[in-house]
Amino acid sequence: MSIEAGQPLAGQPTTARQTGPRRPLGGLGRAALGRAGRAALLATGRQPVPDALEPLVRVHREHHPQADLGLLARAYRLAEASHRGQKRKSGEPYITHPLAVTMILAQLGAGTTTLVASLLHDTVEDTELTLEQVGSGFGPEVAYLVDGVTKLEKVDFGAAAEAETFRKMLVATGDDVRVMVIKLADRLHNMRTIRHMKPASQVRIAKVTRDVLIPLAERLGIQVLKAELEDIVFATLHPEEYARTRSLMAGHEAEPDAVLDPFARLLGRQLAEAGVAAEVAVRPRHCVSLHRVLLKRAAAPGPDGRPQGPQPADFGRLLVVVEENADCYAVLGELHTCWTPLPGEFKDFVAAPKFNLYQSLHTAVALSGGAVVEVLVRTRRMHEVAETGVVALGDPDPAAAAQDADELDRTDPARPGWLSRLLEWQQETPDPDAFWSALTADLAGDREITVVTEGGETLQLRAGATCVDAAYLLGEETGHRCIGARVNGRLTALSTVLHDGDRIAVLTETAPAGTGPRTAGSAGSAATAGSAEASEASEPSGPAPEWLAFARTPAARLAIERWLADHPARLPVVRTGPAGGQPAPVAHRTAERRPAPVVVDGQPGAAVRLARCCTPVPPDEVAGYPIRGGAVAVHRTGCPAGERMREAGRGALEVHWHAAGTPAAGYRATLLAEALNRPRLLADLTAAISAEGVGIVSAEVEPPQELRVRHTYTVELPEPAALPAVMRAMLKVSGVYDVSRPHAPEGGGARRPGGNRDDRPAPGVRPSWGIHGRSAAFTGHRSPGGTRGPEG
């Protein structure tokens, strides 16, 4: 489909008067015939259509046979009278511009109301006509469309006028998408005549068209308009490359097509034999599309290692138009049966339409000579929507939309999903420069992707979006509290780029009254408070400045920047002592002789040392092993270090805990916390430990691996009963999903490169929950022999 210029073609008659004198009918003179014609028109109530409107009327009637031509005629007369005496930079009367814009819209199939607003779209901006006069003469609907495309005055807004005009236009588009359709047609005609502008103005207008208007045309699905805009912008900004590409296209058109035309005829015969009614045609590429193909060819070396040149099949694609959806797949079956399909080239946009309502089957097949041909398959209705986008859906009917509203219908032309999101974040950006930067960044993506939450919610994101963008799309509070994500069932970093069809769950910190990470967008996986003694959750850490490096959507970036501005960076306060009002643990004094906490059977006076590798605490099952100096080392049963001593020939001694032998400095215990990495995690964990009246002897943080991090703490317990309380407190820290008491690693504590221990935590204290959901109640620890430890 091609969009013609709006002016009548020179040399072609458009009215009866332009065809030359005719023989009067019935002997009537010309004047008498004119009077009779006017009388007939008045008798039927039909007003004559101005000559300049006749080409427009013919095109409009092809799409809307019952159109109100009188309304169009009135709009034209008012526009012509208002613009009379005004000239364009090309020297033409100004009325030629609204006529050309209206012709573009008529060729797209726009309704009469849209055409009326198009004829009047510059009257309020450039003439003495007021918006109230437009509304009184043509109704509030036309007045709203005219107001939506009217520019704001530079006198009032200065340098911000262009950005604020686009903001105003987008807000109006949110209520009626025809505002943007008229603006796009207006820009197309201006780009057709851009050669009459100054060179600096040409570059400025072309860049705005490239950065804003072309992406908007893509999102509204108006491909014929988008393709022409792309070619004109390409010619304006890159004239040399445009000339080379046009030269290649002209050379190809001058020669017989040896690939696409013969294959189109062959495919047509094959489909006819299979009983599939279809029209097969060669669809030439426009200039920018061919240029992109040539760039890919140049970047991919051929068999000889040199860049590849253009191939005959690069200049176009085959378009197959059928009647029913099922016929699309029948055509696909014939294609893939008779020719070799290329892996990875098949895309089904029929079952899963694109965000701009586009539907087609895409595939590529290899011919016998080695040429690769791309084929598009769609129905007639799909083809109409693919060419003209939201215009093909017709003028929105608010009454019908309210009556037939369907929550599952995502084809509402008045409020596409991308536009709804854009309108949400633009309200939070009062600064025009920030709005303009965010708008161009949001429109920079060539396409959108669809991801699905584990709860079944569908999220539309721009290509290249990350998990943090998905978190903020679920809500600003969810984004601020997110600490990780699960993509396709695997824990992943927030910086992970999402792909079309991914399944995601956003893991968040606890809400102010909860205890533990929640999962946003996941069915039944949110954590809840698990014990009555849960302490009030700490304030969420919020987004980190590093998130700005991988936040791709304006909504996410603006929310992060706003939070960081409201929460200046402050150093974390790490408390390693007991909470206020609680007795401090007795300082560790190595020189003082401690009462023996363990009694060795048969050796009542033997010196006992609790092993530091496994840090036994009553009532762990323990075993003693003789060491130098006649002392006995006490290890937890199953400790790898104790097992090595047994294998070395040191017989195990029977030992048991002595309640009266608690060391004056308390028991040492090593705790391993596994968590999702986030800011302030170390501060929150140490604060939770010290709040239980427990002193921290040492702390070790391993380098994060993908998203997870492991903290190892050695603490001094005032009494054995403090151990489960400490572990419960650590489990309540947001992001912590496992707390255990590790044994010493195998092989003397060797580490893998990157800092991870060689062994995973042995069966020490394991909470009764996993990453998919948990209970905060502590279930104690179990030694290898099966005896339960202290209950929480």
Packed helices 380-388 and 223-237: angle between N→C axes, nearest 10 degrees: 40
Question: What would the mean pLDDT of 317-324 be, rounded to a whole number?
Answer: 95
Residue 459 has pLDDT above 90, yes or no: no
Q: What is the pLDDT of residue 585?
A: 43
Residue 126: alpha-carbon gap to chain centroid: 39
Beta carbons of 158 and 172 less than 8 angstroms apart: no
What band does 10 get if pLDDT is binned at 50, 70 and 90?
Answer: very low
Question: What would the mean pLDDT of 174-188 be, rounded to a whole number?
Answer: 90
Of 115 and 608, more confident: 115
Q: Which two tokens stand for residue 742?
A: 């590790």
Question: What would the mean pLDDT of 288-298 be, rounded to a whole number?
Answer: 88
DSSP code, position 771: T
pLDDT tens, position by position, 332-345 = 999 999 999 998 88
Q: Which two tokens stand for residue 277?
A: 């009614």
Q: What is the pLDDT of residue 743?
A: 67
What band does 274 get if pLDDT is binned at 50, 70 and 90?
Answer: very high
Residue 727 has pLDDT above 60, yes or no: yes
Question: What would the mean pLDDT of 358-377 be, rounded to a whole number?
Answer: 92
Element (H, E) at 490: strand 490-492
Question: What would the mean pLDDT of 641-670 be, rounded to a whole number?
Answer: 77
In a 3-state reduction of DSSP, which class is residue 222? coil
Of 185 and 785, more confident: 185
pLDDT tens, position by position, 30-42 = 454 444 444 444 4
Q: What is the pLDDT of residue 654?
A: 83
Range with top average pLDDT, 162-171, 231-240, 603-612: 231-240
Q: What is the pLDDT of residue 566?
A: 80
Cα–Cα nearest to 113, from 84, 83, 149, 144: 144
Q: How far apart are CA 474 and CA 506, in angstroms?
A: 9
Residue 347 has pLDDT above 50, yes or no: yes
Residue 617's φ and ψ, nearest 5 degrees, are -140, 135
Q: What is the pLDDT of residue 755?
A: 36
Q: What is the pLDDT of residue 87?
A: 92
Beta carbons of 515 and 537 less than 8 angstroms apart: yes
Q: What is the pLDDT of residue 235?
A: 95
The lowest-confidence range among 452-456, 620-624, 783-787 is 783-787
Write down the mean pLDDT value for the chain: 76
Of 487 and 298, more confident: 487
Question: What would the mean pLDDT of 493-507 be, rounded to a whole number?
Answer: 87
Q: Could you write out the DSSP letters of every residue in 346-402? A: -EETTTS--TT----EEEEEE-TTS-EEEEEEEEHHHHHHHHHGGGGG-S--HHHHH
- Hey, which residues are catalytic here? 125-126
Q: What is the pLDDT of residue 476?
A: 86
Q: What is the pLDDT of residue 420?
A: 65
Alpha-helical runs (H) found in 635-732: 640-647, 681-690, 722-731
Q: What is the pLDDT of residue 379?
A: 95
In a 3-state reduction of DSSP, which class is residue 228? helix
Gyration radius of the chain over CA positions = 38
